[in-house]
Amino acid sequence: MTNEEFQKIVLEELRKLNEKVGNLGQGQIRLEQGQIKLGQGQEEIRKDLKAVIEQTTDLTESRQELMQR
């Protein structure tokens, strides 16, 4: 194997490796974006849960008032 052939092989392998590293970087970005969306979804759930708790409290108080009459 000549030096030029060896260099071609090495360069090709480096290109493949570089492509794989780029794909990993893109995958990480997608994961981070998904994590942000999950966090936003959790915040929505917290708001909805808080509203349900407040409504339940109001209904419980109203029921107690009606039962006392």
pLDDT tens readout for residues 40-65 = 999 999 999 999 999 999 999 998 88
pLDDT for residue 7: 96
Q: Which amino acid is at 25?
A: G
pLDDT for residue 44: 98
**Tokens 């959790």, located at residue:** 42
- Residue 5: phi and psi, rounded to 5, are -65, -45
pLDDT tens readout for residues 16-41 = 999 999 999 999 999 999 999 999 99
